[in-house]
Structure 1
Amino acid sequence: MQRRSQTAVLAAASLLLAAGCSSGGGAPTATGGKSAAPKGKSSGAPATPSAAPSSTAPPAKGSVKVTGTLTTGLKSPWGVAVLPGGDLLVASRDTGKIVRVSADDGKTTELGSVPGVDPGGEGGLLGIAVSPSFGVDRQVYAYFTTASDNRIARMIYDEKRRPGDQLGAPDTILRGIPKGQIHNGGRIAFGPDKMLYAGTGETGDTGLAQDKTSLGGKVLRMTPDGQPAHGNPSADSVVYDYGHRNVQGLAWDDDKRLWASEFGQDTWDELNLIEPGKNYGWPQEEGKAKGGKAGSGFVDPVEEWKTKDASPSGIAYAKGSIWMASLRGERLWRIALNGTKPVAAPQAFLKGTYGRLRTVVSAGDGSLWLVTSNTDGRGKPRKGDDRILRLKVS
């Protein structure tokens, strides 16, 4: 790991992180390498989701108002992470670069490029996340495609260095996630338990989704060092659940329940409530159980959409609802929830107005940042694409 002589605190943090794992050959593969936290320690395990309704359910009908455009001219934006203070980090899938966007005036500053990114098809620099202890360790996490696999690495962000050279050497914490021309997953996010979660895809090899020894077609849960988190279904594995086709959206509600969006094949896209150890059915099942398949042991999605109306990527939680950005559907979906149950049919906004929508994130005040995806080779770029919009929602 690259060392820096910033402050004593940063130096100490770097030493601790270096002790965790290195970017050489020590990163865990498949089912991880090291065991979970020892017995008697704080588990960090997520609470079991409860279906209990919220004290106040959101209204059946909501609203969306675009209050402004934060910035334009982004190239193939994919992952977005919010820094303490509100500024955004945005990853470019095709260039491998990360830029910082000021939440005040939209000014963009290039931090640097992630080494080893091999873009192609649906791969490249995908999700990014900021450490829960960013104020101390200055760590930025990235999920990206290489020539051989998908992997997750972390880098120290040093603002004192010149723009374009502010990212330290990558420290790979997890390697061996299957790669393909399609279905690379890619979303990463830290949960309320301060563990790192990742949504992966089955790369078009459908059998990987049901193979518990593969990292493809899963939601993964790990420590910030990339080790299996205590409380996972298997103590020596980062696999948290299985049976997914291509997970690209992760978000937690106010009761710390994890939700994920998933690309279907030809029939149904999904919004799933994620629980440890559960099987979400792919490739045997797509969408909700139909034709007498109930009781198969697969978990049904909470909501489903025809693929032409959705093809979902990022999701966020705000104002009692899950908000889902749709690529092919070119719209933003609102799924209002009372506990784990929708209070009404999903509601669509901005249909066709801004083209393909890749990522939506909470701005922390009940509003949302919405990122378009028209320069990814599948959209029809318009003047100013790609852009970040500010939304006021209810």
Structure 2
Amino acid sequence: MTNPGREVDKSLNSLNGMDRKGKPKKRTVTQQQKLINHRINMVEFRIRKKEQFERLKKEHERLEREMKRLLAGLQNDFSHESLWVYFGEQNMVRSMVELIVEKEKLRKQNVARRTDVQRHDAFRKEVMNAVRLLSNEESLIHNDGGMIVPDKEPTFDYHPLSIEEVNAVLYPLDKEFMSNLPPVSFIGAILGWNVYREESSLTASLPSTHVQLTKRLHCSIATATQISLEQGDNLRPLLATPIGWSVACRPKVSTHVLQEVNAECCVMAHTFPGPLTCHYVFLERVAQWELPDGRKKLGLSMNVIDSTVSRLSSTDVRTHEPNPIKWAKEGWASVTITEVDATTVDVVYDQWARCESKLHADYVVAQWAQFLVRWEQIVAPFRFLTR
């Protein structure tokens, strides 16, 4: 039978660190060292905590003193008699604050509207001056339709057109003009430009070609207009190019302003130098519209006119000159730039030309596509959004 007294003694010995026989337990050196290290760490921890507490207490007291000082200063400012005399009662102060806020709101609205008006005026002036800025060539014009003498080119006479003659010229930007054209069919895409072509015209005895190219570009309508005006002749389409002509020869083509009808219409001429000098006279017109939703649309049209200049000979080629001269009598082009949003425009380009063969027709289509790709690279470089 177990002795209860003995069991109690065993328990007390175990709690006091003794073995069953009542002798002290032996601890290893490692355990003792760990206990000493732990006690040292705890003492250091308590000291650090106490120092941190003292620092926080001092910072708290400093902030309280600073807050009391600032509050005293504010109370002194608001208790100044002249301030209350100026603002009056609190409801007067509140009313003035609301008035100032409303005035600032109206000022910002007026600034925004003034910016829009200035942007619209600048856009209108650019369009109105487009004809004068598009040509960098100097031309000599006499009131009686005198002699035009291009540098190192055959001379020719030009007689100014009357308003009736100008109005009689077909207008490619007119909706009725475009609706009367034969339909075009989608034939593919060239560098992101959708290409539509009228196929029936190629089967005639004297073939012609009509091509429409469309694309959405990532640039503003103002940027497209400004860059096109700055580039001038370099970004003006060519309406009739001879067989064998290359885009590399574009700098040799000269442009002459023959007559300024008004700010939006003028008569011009292109000359292609070479063994066979090619001329054509064309009427250039610009237009702008504002769509019902406020977006802007800009248009440019060019149409070859069979003027007195090209009727001087009964044949297309005049061989009695030192260099033979050929006059083109047909051809037109139109381009519209429609604003989609502040950074995007839709471009639609149409061109028609009389060709000497189906091979010539295919060649000029490639030239027109080259011209548009070059125009796109200048207006919106490396920022293409293809439809």
Range class of TM-score, shorter chain: under 0.3
Larger Rg: 2
Q: Which has the higher strand share?
A: 1
Q: Which has the higher helix share?
A: 2
Q: TM-score, normalised on structure 1?
A: 0.23
